[in-house]
């Protein structure tokens, strides 16, 4: 009996500690006013973290300066059990246009605006701020300098910085570098060439994704993971991709007087018409791209194998009742369970 | 009543901007971000339509125009000041108005108000010499000063702020101001100032986000003003539209924005951006709000303004509503410009693959778009109801041309000559007829070539800079089709670019042109030098001879060089390749007195060979000299310039490809390097075998070994790498002469010397 006890004890000591995951959502809308559906998902998935996008930073070509856009308006009170991770999206073209000398001023502006907006989330735990930027080799130095300057700007609050990491930044890490932050978050989506006519699904294609994951375990930052829950219509005119129609529902283009279904994912406009503020011309083509649960589940299987065994947040993009209605809470919980225990 | 001036300073600014594009009348050269690397042709002169401010964006797109002419607030300010100046009978200076209205502090205005009540009050400070302040004082303009005081009280509450800092509004004070303003409005007699009070009040309500109040104020106060037309009305409309948008009434708001778009140049860009229709139902509702055909047409024009729109649909709608509408012809020009990019010169555009790859041009539906537009143009052209019928006639011909039917185009365009309503249209017509003629060329003959030169001498050719590349690209394609490769080359490249790798077919054709008695005008342009007398024939013979030298075909080279007049032969360089050099050094050329032109060098080599054959005793030394001359003329020798015009160090990296021609950005046929050392090896071998002199034998064997080593470097699959300092591992079959040198000549003085100086050999000797 004693032997058996020691045997079991030794067996247990050989096992790795279970990976703890923190379910989370990105919130990418400009108004923070959670609907009952959204709250239901937060409960069902026992979400403990939300990553609200506080604002975008973009380049204004008219004013020739970096501007903030789409600032978050907070209209919903969050339970203080939730943690929020303020997120700022910085367009790469801003970095392309900015000079090194302009970086301190931009860092100051971003820092000041962030601190001002954080004040709106009273009594909510904030331990991390995230910066989202698809930096390139040419903008790497400026982006990393900006992150260092932002750390100084935000030193008045005890905070970790994190940055989004795209698949190409994992594969070509030597060229694109590692951002000077405490954590990264792997964005496992937008991996295909959306502008190409022949692309089937640019949002999520595990065959493409797989090609970028070989060096994932060697990536030096602790990585959280972002998974897609959205769809869009890709609008082509004269063979050229001209617009993304966010969250485009097939039902919206089911009117046979205006649209003709070409195949499973493709529609043709047969009569010029407005569609959610965009004027479509006869012969325009629309490709609908969406993330199915099957694909998402396959992605989870793949990533669970490839990621380092460490605790992490699994963040769904994004919290929006229009998006969520395509995904059952139980199914999302199953996806989460592939990565560890909550 | 004064007529409100639609052509404002903004308009003038736009005009000046466009004027900078048009003077000295460069007709194309592209505009907009996508033109940076797009390669195409444009022959539409924007001057063919009336270039007033409202229309400018159609040519460059709003973003471009407003990026150039900024900031719009300055323009609004100027418009406003001009209106004040007119209101005060052009008395005050603009700068003085600007100070009082925009810069003077509230306290100064209050002092001015006090002065108005005094009999002999004196203006002080900045106002002392201000013509506007004096006017206000002298004429006791109390209502004006009261209004200015009120406006300055409102100003801090309507600051827009930046994107980084949204100002906090003091809505309580703003509401007090609205109350005060209402009282002042009722008290004020001047409708000019009543209207401005309305503006201030509605703006306050809008900025404090009380949209309902803003609309109520509009409905209540606007009927109570009876002013002359003023730009302030559109400013007020802008705030009303903003309030409607705030209340989610985007259709009504969009209608108002379309009115602002049409009437107020300084607000046009923001009105365009704010215009927001989401569904077909909203569009119809918006159309219903319009009170005139012009307003309805403006809605279509706004929609068509999207750079990615298919304008034909909107053009048709506009034409049906209002055939003479100003937007129609602007859209026509814009649509033709798009099709020009797609289709003009598509057969011979030398960058059509990169256009397709990077810009997706031509658009897939360009052909259909052309047919749709042509159909509409034909209808409008036939009906003759448009504002400028001539423009539609020209468009018809040009579209036929873009469709590839040059004959139909000429047939449509030529009879129009002399009948155009304006000089600009007449000139445009001439340009398009010329484009059609060039595009339709399908024969190569003297008549055609003379015609091209005549075209190049016209004023049109200078005015429309794309003619140059249009003609060159067309002729390049035509000459290639008809197998005139020399002419095709000169249309596409400069003669010097042939030197990287001379092509015999091209050279022979051009030599034949040089020797022709009756050259066409274009042929003269091709082969005559700047003096207008001398041809490029000697250059071509030099190229031909150099080509043969590069191939180590000595007799053929000499034959070519001898075709060159003796007087010209020294012009192509003097060299001495006969020096003995054991270490390769391509930069070690020594210019001494004994320099020979290429003809003489070849004659000497042939003479040496003759002497070698005739004199067995000295034959080895002669062969050795020939070997030296030939080796030094290769890629590895110091006199490489005898057999080549351009040597690239980077070619080293490609030697092991086994090729002698390497890619180079400026070289249409690649860059040829004289890398083959077989012929010098042949002569060194002969020298080595023939000599009785051990020292000469050692030298010949060493040079032969070098040739063999180079042959290995240039063999396909060689493992030699230019990177790193490792001694190349040369296979035995390429080390025969090194072995001979070691086995038979190790007791020579040369051997001692070479082992010391040549690191490679030292290593090989150690291994052997």
pLDDT at position A212:
93
The torsion angles phi and psi of B507, rounded to 5 degrees, stand at: -60, -45
Cross-chain residue pair B163–A274, CB shorter than 8 Å:
no
pLDDT tens track for A213-242: 988 999 999 999 999 999 999 999 988 899
- Closest CB from A67, A68, A273 relative to B280: A273
**Where, residue-wise, is CATH 3.20.20.80 in chain A?**
18-230+291-337
pLDDT at position A15:
54
Residues in chain A: 342
Q: Where are the domains of chain B?
A: 9-68, 448-535, 598-767
Cross-chain residue pair A277–B162, CB shorter than 8 Å:
no
CB contact set of B530 (below 8 Å; sequence gap of 6+): none
| Closest residue by Cα to residue B722 from B635, B640, B656 | B656
Residue A188 token pair:
């496992």
Nearest-CA distance A115 → chain B (Å)? 12
Nearest-CA distance B279 → chain A (Å)? 5
- Closest CB from A242, A277, A282 relative to B278: A277
Q: Are B113 and B149 in contact (CB under 8 A)?
A: yes
Distance CA B537, CA B564 (A): 8
ipTM: 0.84
Q: Which DSSP letter does residue A183 get?
A: E
Interface of B with A (CB under 8 A): 63, 66-67, 70-71, 162-166, 276-280, 282-283, 303, 306, 308-310, 313, 360, 363-366, 368-369
CB contact set of B306 (below 8 Å; sequence gap of 6+): A279
CB contact set of B624 (below 8 Å; sequence gap of 6+): B683, B684, B687, B691, B696, B699, B700, B703
First vs last Cα of chain B: how many Å apart?
110
Q: How many Cα atoms within 13 Å fall on the side-chain side of residue B174?
A: 22
Q: Are A155 and A111 in contact (CB under 8 A)?
A: no
Cross-chain residue pair B306–A279, CB shorter than 8 Å:
yes
The total of other beta-carbon atoms located within 10 Å of residue B16's CB is 11
Q: Are B298 and B327 in contact (CB under 8 A)?
A: yes
Distance CA A175, CA A157 (A): 32
pLDDT at position B154:
97
pLDDT at position B727:
64
Cross-chain residue pair B363–A113, CB shorter than 8 Å:
no
Bridge partners, residue A65, by sequence: A60
H or E element in which residue B561 lies: helix B554-562
| Closest residue by Cα to residue B401 from B391, B392, B411 | B411
Q: Are B252 and B244 in contact (CB under 8 A)?
A: yes
Q: Are B294 and B262 in contact (CB under 8 A)?
A: yes
Label residue A136 exposed, middle or buried (CB < 10 Å: 0-12, 13-18, 19+): middle
Q: What helix, strand, coil percent values describe chain B, rounded to 5?
A: 65, 0, 30
Write down the CATH superfamily of domain A18-230+291-337: Glycosidases (3.20.20.80)
Q: Are B300 and B314 in contact (CB under 8 A)?
A: yes
First vs last Cα of chain A: how many Å apart?
34
| Closest residue by Cα to residue B307 from B89, B32, B703, B712 | B32
Give residue B573's Cα distance to chain centre: 39
Bridge partners, residue A130, by sequence: A87, A162
Bridge partners, residue A60, by sequence: A65
Higher pLDDT, B61 or A333: A333
H or E element in which residue B297 lies: helix B293-304
Q: Where are the alpha helices (DSSP H) in B344-416?
A: 352-359, 366-383, 389-402, 406-413
CB contact set of B472 (below 8 Å; sequence gap of 6+): B491, B492
Q: Are B373 and B339 in contact (CB under 8 A)?
A: yes
| Closest residue by Cα to residue B368 from A182, A113, A283 | A283
Distance CA B44, CA B55 (A): 16
- Closest CB from B71, B164, B310 relative to A109: B164
Question: What residues of B are in contact with residue A114 (Cβ under 8 Å)?
Answer: none
pLDDT at position B305:
84
pLDDT at position B29:
40
Average confidence score pLDDT of chain A = 91
Cross-chain residue pair A61–B70, CB shorter than 8 Å:
no
Distance CA B655, CA A231 (A): 53
- Closest CB from B166, B303, B369 relative to A279: B303
CB burial readout B84-93, b (16+ within 10 A) else e: bbebbeeebe
Q: Are A225 and A339 in contact (CB under 8 A)?
A: yes
Q: What does the pLDDT average to over A189-200?
A: 93
Cross-chain residue pair A68–B364, CB shorter than 8 Å:
no
Going from the C-alpha of B563 to that of each of A56, B559, B596, the distances in angstroms are 73, 7, 17
Helix (H, G, I), strand (E, B) or coil at A73: strand
Distance CA B588, CA B582 (A): 12
Distance CA A202, CA A195 (A): 9
Nearest-CA distance B478 → chain A (Å)? 30
Nearest-CA distance B430 → chain A (Å)? 32
Q: How many Cα atoms within 13 Å fall on the side-chain side of residue B599?
A: 17
Bridge partners, residue A315, by sequence: A24, A226
CB burial readout B41-73, b (16+ within 10 A) else e: bbbbbbbbbebbbbbbbbbbbbbbbbebbeebe
Nearest-CA distance B272 → chain A (Å)? 14
Is pLDDT of A142 > 90?
yes
pTM: 0.76
Residue A340 token pair:
């560890």
Task: Show the CA angle centred on residue A60, arms to residues B272 and B163, nearest 5°.
Answer: 90
Q: Are B567 and B594 in contact (CB under 8 A)?
A: no
Nearest-CA distance B464 → chain A (Å)? 29
Handedness of CA A102, A105, A108, A109 (dihedral sign): negative
Distance CA A132, CA A152 (A): 18
Question: What residues of B are in contact with residue A90 (Cβ under 8 Å)?
Answer: none
Q: Are B149 and B109 in contact (CB under 8 A)?
A: yes
Q: Are A235 and A197 in contact (CB under 8 A)?
A: no
Interface of A with B (CB under 8 A): 60-63, 67-69, 71, 109, 112-113, 237-240, 242, 272-274, 276-277, 279, 281-283
Q: Extract the residue ranges of chain B whose pLDDT is less than 70.
A: 1-36, 46-73, 589-593, 721-728, 759-760, 764-768
Selected residue of A241, A281, A284 to mutate for chain B interface (largest B Cβ count, 10 A): A281
Q: Is A224 left (phi over 0), alpha (psi -120 to 50) or beta?
A: beta
Cross-chain residue pair A274–B277, CB shorter than 8 Å:
yes
């Amino acid at each position: 009996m004693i032997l058996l006890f020691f045997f079991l004890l030794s067996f247990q000591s050989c096992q790795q500690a279970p990976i703890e995951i923190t379910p989370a959502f990105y919130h990418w809308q400009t108004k923070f006013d959670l609907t009952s559906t959204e709250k239901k998902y937060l409960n069902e998935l026992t979400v403990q973290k939300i990553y609200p996008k506080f604002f975008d930073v973009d380049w204004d070509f008219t004013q020739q300066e970096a501007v903030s856009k789409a600032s978050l308006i907070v209209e919903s009170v969050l339970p203080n059990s939730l943690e929020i991770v303020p997120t700022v999206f910085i367009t790469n073209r801003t970095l392309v246009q900015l000079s090194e000398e302009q970086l301190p001023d931009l860092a100051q502006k971003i820092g000041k605006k962030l601190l001002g907006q954080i004040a709106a989330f009273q009594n909510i735990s904030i331990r991390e701020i995230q910066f989202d930027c698809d930096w390139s080799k040419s903008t790497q130095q400026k982006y990393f300098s900006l992150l260092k300057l932002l750390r100084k700007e935000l030193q008045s609050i005890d905070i970790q910085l994190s940055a989004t990491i795209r698949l190409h930044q994992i594969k070509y890490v030597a060229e694109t570098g590692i951002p000077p932050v405490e954590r990264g978050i792997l964005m496992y989506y937008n991996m295909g060439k959306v502008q190409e006519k022949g692309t089937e699904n640019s949002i999520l294609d595990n065959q493409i994704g797989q090609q970028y994951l070989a060096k994932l375990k060697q990536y030096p930052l602790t990585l959280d993971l972002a998974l897609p829950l959205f769809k869009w219509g890709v609008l082509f005119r004269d063979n050229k991709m001209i617009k993304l129609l966010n969250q485009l529902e097939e039902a919206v283009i089911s009117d046979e007087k205006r649209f003709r279904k070409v195949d499973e994912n493709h529609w043709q406009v047969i009569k010029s018409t407005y569609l959610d503020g965009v004027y479509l011309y006869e012969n325009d083509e629309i490709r609908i791209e969406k993330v199915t649960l099957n694909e998402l589940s396959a992605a989870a299987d793949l990533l669970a194998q490839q990621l380092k065994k460490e605790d992490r947040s699994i963040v769904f993009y994004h919290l929006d009742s229009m998006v969520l209605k395509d995904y059952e809470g139980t199914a999302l919980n199953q996806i989460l369970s592939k990565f560890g225990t909550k | 009543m004064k007529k409100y001036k639609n052509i404002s300073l903004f308009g003038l600014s736009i005009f000046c901007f466009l004027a900078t594009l048009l003077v000295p009348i460069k007709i194309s050269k592209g505009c907009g971000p996508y033109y940076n690397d797009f390669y195409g042709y444009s022959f539409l002169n924007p001057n063919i339509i009336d270039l007033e401010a409202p229309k400018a964006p159609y040519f460059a797109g709003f973003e471009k125009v407003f990026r150039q002419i900024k900031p719009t607030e300055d323009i609004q300010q100027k418009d406003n000041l001009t209106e004040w100046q007119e209101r005060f009978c052009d008395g005050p200076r603009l700068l003085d108005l600007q100070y009082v209205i925009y810069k003077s502090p509230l306290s100064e205005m209050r002092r001015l108000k006090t002065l108005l009540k005094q009999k002999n009050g004196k203006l002080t400070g900045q106002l002392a010499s201000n013509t506007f302040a004096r006017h206000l004082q002298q004429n006791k303009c109390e209502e004006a000063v009261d209004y200015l005081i009120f406006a300055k009280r409102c100003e801090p509450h309507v600051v827009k702020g930046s994107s980084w800092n949204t100002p906090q509004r003091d809505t309580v004070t703003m509401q007090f101001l609205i109350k005060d303003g209402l009282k002042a409005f009722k008290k004020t007699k001047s409708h000019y100032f009543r209207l401005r009070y309305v503006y201030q009040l509605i703006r306050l309500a809008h900025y404090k986000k009380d949209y309902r109040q803003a609309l109520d104020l509009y409905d209540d106060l606007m009927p109570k003003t009876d002013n002359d037309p003023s730009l302030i009305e559109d400013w007020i409309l802008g705030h009303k539209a903003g309030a409607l948008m705030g209340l989610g009434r985007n259709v009504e708001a969009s209608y108002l924005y379309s009115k602002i778009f049409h009437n107020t140049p300084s607000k046009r860009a923001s009105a365009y951006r704010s215009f927001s229709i989401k569904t077909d139902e909203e569009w119809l509702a918006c159309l219903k709000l319009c009170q005139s055909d012009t307003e309805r047409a403006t809605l279509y024009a706004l929609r068509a303004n999207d750079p990615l729109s298919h304008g034909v649909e909107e053009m048709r709608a506009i034409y049906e509503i209002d055939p003479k509408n100003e937007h129609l012809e602007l859209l026509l020009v814009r649509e033709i410009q798009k099709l020009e990019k797609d289709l003009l010169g598509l057969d011979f555009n030398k960058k059509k693959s990169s256009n397709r790859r990077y810009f997706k041009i031509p658009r897939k539906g360009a052909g259909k778009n052309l047919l749709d537009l042509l159909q509409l143009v034909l209808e409008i052209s036939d009906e003759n109801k448009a504002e400028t019928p001539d423009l539609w006639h020209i468009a018809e011909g040009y579209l036929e041309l873009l469709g590839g039917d040059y004959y139909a185009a000429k047939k449509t365009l030529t009879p129009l000559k002399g009948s155009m309503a304006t000089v600009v249209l007449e000139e445009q017509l001439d340009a398009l007829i010329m484009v059609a003629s060039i595009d339709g060329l399908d024969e190569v003959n003297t008549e055609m070539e003379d015609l091209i030169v005549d075209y190049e001498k016209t004023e049109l050719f200078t005015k429309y800079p794309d003619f140059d590349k249009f003609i060159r690209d067309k002729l390049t394609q035509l000459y290639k089709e008809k197998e005139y490769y020399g002419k095709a080359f000169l249309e596409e490249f400069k003669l010097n670019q042939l030197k990287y790798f001379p092509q015999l077919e091209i050279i022979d054709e051009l030599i034949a042109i040089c020797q022709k008695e009756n050259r066409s005008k274009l042929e003269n342009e091709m082969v005559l030098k700047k003096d207008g007398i001398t041809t490029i024939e000697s250059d071509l013979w030099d190229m031909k001879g150099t080509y043969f030298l590069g191939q180590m075909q000595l007799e053929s080279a000499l034959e070519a060089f001898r075709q060159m007049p003796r007087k010209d032969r020294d012009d192509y360089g003097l060299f001495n390749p006969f020096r003995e050099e054991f270490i390769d050094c391509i930069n070690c050329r020594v210019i001494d007195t004994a320099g020979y032109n290429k003809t003489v060098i070849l004659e000497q080599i042939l003479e040496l060979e003759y002497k070698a054959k005739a004199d067995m005793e000295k034959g080895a030394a002669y062969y050795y000299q020939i070997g030296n001359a030939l080796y030094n003329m290769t890629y590895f020798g110091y006199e490489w310039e005898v057999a080549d015009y351009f040597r690239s160090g980077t070619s080293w990296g490609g030697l092991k490809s086994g090729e002698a021609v390497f890619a180079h950005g400026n070289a249409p046929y690649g860059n040829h390097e004289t890398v083959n050392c077989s012929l010098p090896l042949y002569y060194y071998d002969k020298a080595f075998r023939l000599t009785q002199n051990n020292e000469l034998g050692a030298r010949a064997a060493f040079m032969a070994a070098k040739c063999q080593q180079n042959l290995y470097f240039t063999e396909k699959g060689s493992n030699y790498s230019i990177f790193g300092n490792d001694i190349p591992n040369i296979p035995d079959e390429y080390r025969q002469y090194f072995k001979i040198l070691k086995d038979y000549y190790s007791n020579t003085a040369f051997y001692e010397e070479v082992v010391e100086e040549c690191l490679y050999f030292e290593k090989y000797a150690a291994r052997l």
